[in-house]
Amino acid sequence: MRAGGFFGIALTAVVLFAATNVDDIVMLTVLSITSRAEGRPRRWQIWAGQYAGIAVLVAVSLAAAAGLAVIPLRWLWPLGLLPLGLGLAKLVTTIRARRSGQRASPAVVTGLAGVIGLTIANGGDNVSAYIPVFRTSTNAEMAVIIVVFTAGVGLYCLASTLMAGHRAVIEAVQRWGQWVVPVVFILIGFYIFFKTGALS
């Protein structure tokens, strides 16, 4: 892999991870606040649970992408419709929630199993974005993506610990995160169209 290609896929992976897991910052920060106040869940449970949950999501995405490996790349452009549709749906949901003044309250769990379950449930829709990206990537590119995701989980956990005492930061993520996620899902849809030649 050339240097330019490496940095390009690394940047793609950073954007993909950050955008699809932006809501995890809120979840992890709330868990960290609870951990400081009540001692549950413990810090290691938060870290281990987040890593395990993301690993499950990535494994499911890789398995599904491998199942599509026998299909020619140029026929896979419809996969871009899924993240595009989810992004548009999320955008509509965000607009409706904003108009009605609603805001989802983050859930709190107390142990490792709960953190794992919460991570998987919170990121279940991410699979729809990961599958087409993995399917249109080479083995070397997938390795880069996985390394970036591994580092990203650690950074998110560390950031949530540091932000646990700053309510203003939590509110900022809650306020803008709901807009970032749908926009990036839409962009991922167009990225898949580009990678499969649908836009050429």
Q: In whole angstroms, give the CA distance from residue 169 to residue 29.
A: 10
Task: Name the more confident of 162 and 109.
Answer: 162
Cis peptide before 78 (omega within 30 of 0): no
Q: What are phi and psi of 127, to 5 degrees?
A: -55, -35
pLDDT in tens, 67-120: 776 666 677 678 678 768 877 887 888 788 778 876 544 445 678 988 888 788
pLDDT band (50, 70, 90) for residue 148:
very high
pLDDT of 145 over the 80 cut: yes
* Range of 48-57, 93-102, 106-115, 157-166 with top mean pLDDT: 48-57
Q: Map out the domains of the chain as residue ranges.
A: 3-195
pTM (predicted TM-score): 0.69
Q: Which residues contact 17 (CB under 8 A, 6 or more apart)?
A: 148, 149, 152
> Whose CA is closest to 28, among 126, 150, 162?
162
pLDDT at 105: 41
Region label for 197, one of left (φ > 0), alpha (ψ between -120 and 50) or beta (otherwise): left
State the average pLDDT over residues 175-200. 72
* Range of 29-38, 91-100, 133-142 with top mean pLDDT: 133-142
pLDDT of 152 over the 90 cut: yes
Q: In whole angstroms, give the CA distance from residue 116 to residue 58.
A: 14
Dihedral in degrees, nearest 10, Cα atoms 89, 16, 55, 145: 150
| CB-facing half-sphere around the CA of 149: CA atoms within 13 A | 24
CA angle 45, 179, 156 (to 5 degrees): 25
